[in-house]
Amino acid sequence: MHEKQNLLSLTKDQLDVFFSHLGEKPYRTKQIMQWVYHKHVLDFGAMLNLSKTLRDKLENSACLDLPQITKQNHSLDGVIKWLLDLGNNNQIEMVYIPEKDRGTLCISSQVGCSLACTFCSTGAQGFNRNLTTAEIISQVLIANKHLNSKNKKISNVVFMGMGEPLLNESSVYNACNLFLDDLAFGLSRRKVTISTSGIVPALLRMAQTTPVSLAISLHAPDDDLRDVLVPINKKYPIKELLDACQNYIDSGQQKRHILIEYVMLDGVNDTSEHAKKLVKLIKGMSVKVNLIPFNPFEKTQYRVSKASTIENFQDILYRSGIRTMVRRTRGEDVDAACGQLAGKVIDKSNRAIKLNVRN
Ligand code: SAH
Ligand code: SF4
């Protein structure tokens, strides 16, 4: 039997092609998208403005499959973490982080990651596989369904969960297309962010094709240190990366800026010297810096910088005219920090099961 096409993997244009192969008119695309994304109906049988013949055709050739939720943890500060099962022992996490004026969903793009950044628990687990577009956007569908019932909303989506989005380009770009499409999620391009450790050729492609926001995981102000923390730097060193960033900034039809992520590791990258070097590197660029207190995990060699050290670092950047914020640690009681999701999940000892699950 041929495999059914999961329609959640298709953009509007791809749905047009799908329906034309079925001998249907393009307006079917709009009807299906309204059912799925606006009315949250995933059962072809319930899509009453489609003819019975078409519903039967769809049952035979297509599906609208979501991953299963295997765990849902609520932290005391409102953060929710879900564990999703993608089959064959592949698990991913996503995290909802409510703030005063917005709700951010942090999503995954791969099971594991091949880039082995030394301070990242996903990197410690190796790479398993890329997510499909359907698996990426399902994260938002599933979270939305849960949050709607509680009158909460996802206003921002960030690729800061497991995996390197720019090593899964086609699925991630299709997902972004759906995030921005008014017929699907209808988010503005400022509210969808790809975070990358700096895959330069992909970054150059993304700048031209996918008009979403960009966050760069820099973490070090020189190549010697970045080679250690973010090993992909040996292939795409800082100068090439920042040139690609400038290209992104210059490519937008509207004014663009970039978020620079910098994880604060005690005694490793957090001194005044590091801060001054960082200023030299990025001064004059249209960037904002996000200092992320390191989130420790089992067997890590790193510790988080002291609060006073982070403050000093922020001060040096700030006084040089660089907008800098310190990310607040959230959801600590459920291990829900963005970018620090996977460790507890695929850990062979299956510690996730021991997490304190409420609900
Ligand atoms: N692979 C992409 C996106 C996922 S990681 C990237 O590297 O950008 C999302 C963010 O979380 C990155 O900035 C990453 O460096 C950061 N991160 C990873 N592990 C972390 C940890 N233990 N503590 C704090 N931030 C971490
Ligand atoms: Fe992969 Fe990002 Fe973790 Fe590096 S920080 S190992 S790129 S997920």
Task: Give the model confidence (pLDDT) of 129-184 as tens digits.
Answer: 999 999 999 999 999 999 988 888 899 999 999 999 999 999 999 999 999 999 99
Q: What percent of the chain has pLDDT over 70?
A: 92
338 is catalytic: yes
Angstrom distance (rounded) from CA 235 to CA 214: 20
Grade residue 353 by pLDDT with cuts at 50, 70 and 90: very low
Q: Is 120 in the pocket of ligand 2 (CB under 6 A)?
A: yes
Q: What domains appear along the chain, each with residue ranges and CATH number?
A: 5-63 (1.10.150.530), 68-355 (3.20.20.70)
Backbone angles phi, psi at 227, to 5 degrees: -55, -35
Which protein residues touch ligand 1 with a CB less than 6 Å away? Answer: 113, 119-120, 159-160, 164, 195-197, 217, 261, 263, 292, 294-295, 338-340
How many other β-carbons are positioned within 10 Å of the β-carbon of residue 304? 18
What is residue 151's predicted lDDT score, i.e. its pLDDT? 81
By CB atoms closer than 10 A (0-12, 13-18, 19+), residue 308 is exposed
Report the length, in residues, of the chain.
359
Bigger pLDDT: 347 or 177?
177
Compute, in angstroms, the gap from residue 239 CA to the centroid of ligand 1. 21
- Report the percent of the chain where pLDDT is more than 90: 83
pLDDT of res. 329: 74
Taking residues 218-232, what's their average pLDDT?
Answer: 98
Which segment of 4-13, 99-108, 255-264, 348-357 scores lowest on mean pLDDT?
Answer: 348-357
Please tell me the residue having the least CA distance from ligand 2 atom 4: 117
> Annotated catalytic residue: which of 93, 135, 169, 261?
93
Q: Measuring from atom 6 of ligand 2, which residue has the nearest CA?
A: 123
- CB neighbour list of residue 339: distance below 8 Å, 6 or more residues apart: 106, 120, 122, 160, 161, 195, 292, 295
Q: Is the pLDDT of residue 351 over 80?
A: no
Confidence of residue 349 (pLDDT cuts 50, 70, 90): very low
Span 23-40, average pLDDT = 95
